[in-house]
Amino acid sequence: MATRITKREVENTVASAGSKPETIEYLGALLGRAVGEDVVIVGGSAIEIHTSGRTASADIDVIGPRASAIEAVESWGFVRAGRIWRREDWGIDFDFLGEHMTGSRSKTVLRETPYGPVRVLGYEDSLVKRFVELKYWPTAPDWRADLIRQIQFLLEDYGDSLDEEYLAFVAKRDGVVDILADFRERRSRSVERRDE
Amino acid sequence: MPLPVDPYLAALFGSETRVRTLAPLANSPEPLTAYRIAALSDVNRIKVYAELAKLARAGVVRERPGGPHRSLWELIDDDVRRIFRRRIRVFWSEERARSEPDRARRAREILAEPLPEIDLSKYPVDPAKAAEVRARYAKEFERPPEKGPSRKDGWRRG
């Protein structure tokens, strides 16, 4: 059931966040309550949450009911700027990607916040999407370096608790089995070096 | 918001309510009250108590005293815990805080090493697969100008 979240409540929530990943989580939680349905944080902001801010994202990519999400953030002072909704004084952008999620909802991570729970794209889907972007999209060197670090941090923190069957399925579907294997091998060697 | 239920787990454990009751326990570093389990799983508390009673009789969970008029529940089967953690993830702020120093240390070790040199030419691209994948992810990866990278480095807050 949707709940009316006032602009003041959102402003107080953002002020209470201790970090950028927390801000993303808190806004995601409020947005979910405002629209009365699951929203899922995806993309770079999902990875920023998973890595506790060691990687950075430009905006908050959201999967969820688009119309009601837009209505909610506009009531919070966000203004449309092309495809995104922006609150200039916070430097926060939302990108509403619609309700179709390229990834598994059951693999999303439910993160508890003081403002309610928020769903974040799962580790396997986050990894595969970064492999996909590396392999299939032209990327500038600095962005490529960011992608590599995101992959390294995700594998380091979650590499031992991945759903291997699902990861293999998605990697095969998206043609990134080779690059996944390479990064895992690099991680193994890196861990060996650090343990010496 | 109810936890999503993996159909594999629902089939294995015979009940979505049971899966939703076990998921917070499997993901928690500490025992939980039934109230907390119900809040996290969005299952009616009476149903949670009923499931916990069945699971306790079967030796899957255990009840512990948690203070005056308060019980805590914990999952005692590590195999069940591992199965759940691979399929339903719930993350609490307490666990994040506890694991953060170790994660930060490992991140510093990674950053101390040179960035891996990735030779993308080693990963041949099949044109048909590329077209399929690009269609699948187009909306996420095609960034309009207003999503510029200049906003990545920190936010201002009011």
**pLDDT for the residue numbered A194:** 77
Gyration radius from chain A CA atoms = 17
**pLDDT for the residue numbered A182:** 94
**pLDDT for the residue numbered A37:** 87
Residue B102 contacts A where some CB pair is shorter than 8 Å:
no
Amino acid at B69: H
d(CA B31, CA B26): 10
A62 vs B98, which has greater pLDDT?
A62
- Tell me the pLDDT of chain A averaged across its residues: 92
**Nearest-CA residue of chain B relative to A146?**
B115
Q: Has residue B157 got a pLDDT over 70? A: no
**pLDDT for the residue numbered B19:** 94
This complex has an ipTM of: 0.84
CB atoms B147 and A92 under 8 Å: no
CB atoms A83 and B40 under 8 Å: no
Q: Has residue B75 got a pLDDT over 50? A: yes
A-chain residues near B38 (CB < 8 A): none
Neighbours of B72 (CB within 10 A): 16
Q: Has residue A26 got a pLDDT over 70? A: yes
Task: Calculate mean pLDDT across residues B94-119.
Answer: 86
Residue B98 contacts A where some CB pair is shorter than 8 Å:
no
pLDDT band at B149 (very low <50, low <70, confident <90, very high): low
- The answer to whether B142 and A75 have CB atoms below 8 angstroms apart is no
Residues 66-125 of A with CB under 8 A from B: 81-84, 86, 89-93, 95, 97-98, 102, 105-113, 116-117, 119, 122-123
Enter the pTM of the model: 0.84
B40 vs A169, which has greater pLDDT?
A169
Q: What are A127-179's pLDDT values in tens digits?
A: 999 999 999 988 888 889 999 999 999 999 998 878 899 999 999 999 999 99
pLDDT band at B4 (very low <50, low <70, confident <90, very high): low
- The answer to whether A50 and A158 have CB atoms below 8 angstroms apart is yes
Q: Which two tokens stand for residue A145?
A: 């370096």
Residue A17 DSSP class: -
CB atoms B89 and A145 under 8 Å: no
Task: Calculate mean pLDDT across residues A57-86.
Answer: 95
Q: Has residue A84 got a pLDDT over 60? A: yes
Place of tokens 């019980």: B71
Residue B14 contacts A where some CB pair is shorter than 8 Å:
no
**pLDDT for the residue numbered B3:** 63
Q: Has residue A1 got a pLDDT over 90? A: no
What is the distance in angstroms between the Cα of B147 and the nearest Cα belonging to chain A? 7
pLDDT band at B29 (very low <50, low <70, confident <90, very high): confident
**pLDDT for the residue numbered A123:** 95
* Interface residue of B91, B113, B120 to substitute, partner A, most A CBs within 10 Å: B91
**pLDDT for the residue numbered B36:** 87
Q: Has residue A49 got a pLDDT over 70? A: yes
* Interface residue of B27, B140, B142, B150 to substitute, partner A, most A CBs within 10 Å: B140
Q: Has residue B152 got a pLDDT over 60? A: no
Residue B2 phi/psi, 5-degree rounding, is -70, 145
Q: Has residue B41 got a pLDDT over 90? A: no
Of B87, B116, B152, which is closest to A56 when you measure between CB atoms? B152
CB atoms B6 and A106 under 8 Å: yes
CB atoms A109 and B89 under 8 Å: yes
**pLDDT for the residue numbered B1:** 52
| SS3 assignment, position A160 | coil
**pLDDT for the residue numbered A170:** 97
pLDDT band at B150 (very low <50, low <70, confident <90, very high): very low
Residue A174 DSSP class: T
- Tell me the pLDDT of chain B averaged across its residues: 85
Residues 36-55 of B with CB under 8 A from A: 40
Of A17, A58, A123, which is closest to B148 when you measure between CB atoms? A58
Nearest CA to B19 out of B8, B31, B30, B5 is that of B5
Place of tokens 């299952």: B43
d(CA B59, CA B77): 8
